[in-house]
Amino acid sequence: MHWYTLHLNIRAQLRLFKSAFGEYYAHIAVLTAIGFLSGILEGVGINALIPLFSFITEDDGDNSIVTRTIREIFYFVGVDFTIKYLLIFIAAVFIVKAVILFIGSYIQLRIVQDYTKKMRADLFKKFLYARWSFLLRQKIGHMEKMLSTEVKSVAALLGSVSTLILLTTGLLMYLLVAVNISFSITTIALCTGIIVMVIFQPLVFKTRDVSRATAAQSRENAHFINENVLGIKTVKALTAVASMVTEAECRFEKLRKLGIKLTILNSIFSSFFQPFSIIFILFLFSFSYKTGDFSLPAFAAIIYLIQRIFSNIQNFYMHIQGIFKELPYLEHVTECQEEARRNEEKDIGSNPFVFERALSFKNVSFGYQNHSTTIANISFDIRRNSFVGLIGPSGGGKTTIVDLALRLFEPDAGTIELDGVPVSDIDLTRYRKNIAYVSQDIHLINDTILQNIRFFDDSITDDAIVNAAKQAQIYDTIQAIPQRFNTIVGERGIHFSAGQRQRIVIARALARNPKILILDEATSALDNESEIKIQKTIENLKGKVSVLVIAHRLGTVMNCDVLFVLNNGKVIERGEPKELLKDKNSYFFKMYTMRG
């Protein structure tokens, strides 16, 4: 049963290798050829040592088939068979072999680096193009860990596979040459090496299991670190540093213990095999000497070959162990890659973005996975160049409406239409290029103000950036800074106040000249001065662009054309703010009164 399970595991792993490294078959074939050629050259060089020793010792080894063959080669090319030319021949063979091995190493390096670059780019691309529901399930730090460390480990596995091919082909050639000198000794050495590898085979699978635990612990540590570094201000304010350090030390201790186990497992075989090979060579000497057919030149060559065979067997085992050590990373990376592929954001639409009348929600219902319905049978319009406000208690469904408008989710029921065309029929890229989104969670990169407003869209000109900054009421602030638009904003915009950061983000949205601007709680964390400036920005946009504002602060939506009040996933009130205030029983009136 154990061997049947082992057989199934090997087949599954071979399929995994084929899936991951299939495009490198041609390169691997070249490495195989290089391995054979290198082995042949070393075999020729080693065989040439026999007549060399014969010259020195005047042993009768010069009558062996090896010596006769090399002598005939010299005579065939018209070179005297002397010790001088034999030394030149041996040196030339090993130099050519070294050059060929260098070429093989270069090819192997190119394969590994090419794979690393392609895999990182492919994973990053697949994650960014994945559905929003898939991205929401990802833990902070896991993707960074996978791209920076795990892909590197998978590349190391590919390198081990390439090296294993070179070792295997080299080992075969050593065996062929050794068999030519002494069949019996070569057979004994090979069988002994195989038996030793079988004995130590359980260590390989133990290495894989410990490596799998190490990989999982490393990912959890990365998540723990990233999660708490992002909230370090809260950690310090709540004096939770000491407790967090203790927790971190426990996690690092687990990783340390796993690292020790892995190191011990990796060193057991080599620690045993090196003295074993010396003892075996001494045994061979005794065996060969007592047979009576002892030739010092031939024995010296066979000992060198046996040493090389054992060295290759040791390296072969170590790389097999290395492959199983990195195998959990390949399994995880491949699994994530496949999961991201299955969750690719579908774009079946091809129609252009045409917005002349309204973006309409028609009887739309939606619920997140494993949760009850978030919004139920909602209908409303965002008319062209109108200012629409959306308010309501937390959990009422406001942000869900934004996610649906951005096409991050599809409705469970009902339709969202743009001028009567279902938004799912509109090209997704064109659709999102015409809708700008500003979140309450400010996202700024550690770059200049200019690059934060441009934000990876090189089609946006410097003039457009300046105009957007003016519209967002941040231009004067930028001009008062020595470096102006070339000022570095710092990590997450730390060099600027919350209000300034928010206005930079609004400028980013406006620089794209959107048809619809969505502000999701964009003023919730701002001071009164910053809120007034953003309100002024919104007022200036009236009649020029459709604006959807989600707000807790009622002052932001007091001048909107139409206000929708959401509660428990339903629109409970709608109308102009001034009209809603006339109804003293309305939710809006109660909220307005509480504010006062």
Kindly list the domain boundaries of the chain, sorted by start residue: 15-342, 358-595
| Minimum mean pLDDT range among 149-158, 180-189, 378-387, 496-505 | 180-189
* pLDDT above 60 (res 2): no
Cβ–Cβ under 8 Å, residues 537 and 471 = yes
Write down the pLDDT at residue 6.
Answer: 47
Q: Write the CA distances from 465 to 257, 442, 469, integer angstroms.
A: 54, 18, 6
**Beta strand pairing status for 413-418 and 570-575?**
unpaired
pLDDT bracket for residue 537 (50, 70, 90): confident
Give CA–CA dist 421/548, Å, rounded: 20
Burial class (CB within 10 angstroms; exposed 0-12, middle 13-18, buried 19+) of 543: exposed
HSE-CB at 584 with a 13 A cutoff on CA atoms is: 0
| Minimum mean pLDDT range among 59-68, 382-391, 472-481, 546-555 | 59-68
Write down the pLDDT at residue 86.
Answer: 79
Please list, in sequence order, all residues whose beta carbon lies within 8 angstroms of the beta carbon of residue 377, skipping any fewer than 6 positions away.
363, 364, 365, 413, 414, 570
CATH code linked to domain 15-342: 1.20.1560.10
Write down the pLDDT at residue 355.
Answer: 92
Write down the pLDDT at residue 592.
Answer: 81
Q: Report the 10 Å Cβ neighbour count for 36.
A: 16
Give CA–CA dist 553/523, Å, rounded: 7
Question: Starting from the edge strand earliest in sequence, which strands make up the sheet with 387-391, in order?
Answer: 435-438, 516-520, 546-550, 387-391, 562-567, 570-575
| Minimum mean pLDDT range among 229-238, 258-267, 513-522 | 229-238
CA dihedral 253, 258, 264, 267 (to 10 degrees): -120
Give CA–CA dist 163/517, Å, rounded: 56
Q: Report the 10 Å Cβ neighbour count for 115.
A: 21
Give CA–CA dist 456/512, Å, rounded: 11
Give CA–CA dist 157/39, Å, rounded: 23
Phi, psi of 477 (to 5 degrees): -60, -45
Phi, psi of 166 (to 5 degrees): -60, -40
Mean pLDDT within 531-538: 80
Mean pLDDT within 563-578: 88
Q: Report the 10 Å Cβ neighbour count for 192.
A: 18
**Beta strand pairing status for 421-422 and 413-418?**
antiparallel
Give CA–CA dist 565/324, Å, rounded: 58
Tell the residue number behind the tokens 């953003």, with chain if given.
Answer: 534
Give CA–CA dist 436/486, Å, rounded: 24
Q: Go through 419-450 and write b for each residue having 16 or more CB atoms within 10 A of its CB, e for each that does not.
A: eeeebbebeeeebbbbbbbbebebebeeebbb
Output 192 or 404, whichever has higher pLDDT. 404
Most confidently modeled of 92-106, 279-293, 562-576?
562-576
Mean pLDDT within 476-497: 87
pLDDT bracket for residue 546 (50, 70, 90): very high
Output 139 or 66, whichever has higher pLDDT. 139
> What is the residue type of 593?
T
Please list, in sequence order, all residues whose beta carbon lies within 8 angstroms of the beta carbon of residue 46, skipping any fewer than 6 positions away.
177, 301, 304, 305
Q: Report the 10 Å Cβ neighbour count for 158.
A: 24
Two tokens, residue 211: 């490596």
What top-level class would CATH report for the domain 358-595? alpha beta
Taking the model in full, what pTM does it have?
A: 0.76
Mean pLDDT within 282-306: 67
pLDDT bracket for residue 358 (50, 70, 90): very high
| Minimum mean pLDDT range among 63-67, 112-116, 132-136 | 63-67
| Minimum mean pLDDT range among 18-27, 199-208, 373-382, 398-407 | 18-27
Two tokens, residue 317: 């085992």
Cβ–Cβ under 8 Å, residues 416 and 362 = yes
Q: Select from 587, 566, 585, 565 the least CA-distant residue to 575.
A: 565
Q: Write the CA distances from 52 to 82, 381, 467, integer angstroms.
A: 9, 95, 85
HSE-CB at 343 with a 13 A cutoff on CA atoms is: 22
Write down the pLDDT at residue 596.
Answer: 55
Write down the pLDDT at residue 61.
Answer: 47
Write down the pLDDT at residue 5.
Answer: 47
Mean pLDDT within 4-16: 60
CA dihedral 271, 274, 275, 278 (to 10 degrees): 180
| Minimum mean pLDDT range among 6-10, 416-420, 549-553 | 6-10
Which DSSP string do the residues of 134-180 spell out, in sequence order? Answer: HHHTSPTTHHHHIIIIIHHHHHHHHHHHHHHHHHHHHHHHHHHHHHH
Give CA–CA dist 383/547, Å, rounded: 9
Output 574 or 77, whichever has higher pLDDT. 574
* pLDDT above 60 (res 37): yes
pLDDT tens readout for residues 161-187: 878 877 787 777 777 777 776 777 778
Q: Write the CA distances from 277 to 191, 261, 273, 290, 544, integer angstroms.
A: 13, 25, 6, 20, 84
pLDDT bracket for residue 56 (50, 70, 90): low
pLDDT bracket for residue 357 (50, 70, 90): very high
Write down the pLDDT at residue 1.
Answer: 40
Integer-rounded Cα Rg, in Å, for the chain is: 36
To the nearest whole number, what is the mean pLDDT of the chain?
Answer: 82
* pLDDT above 90 (res 359): yes
* pLDDT above 50 (res 149): yes
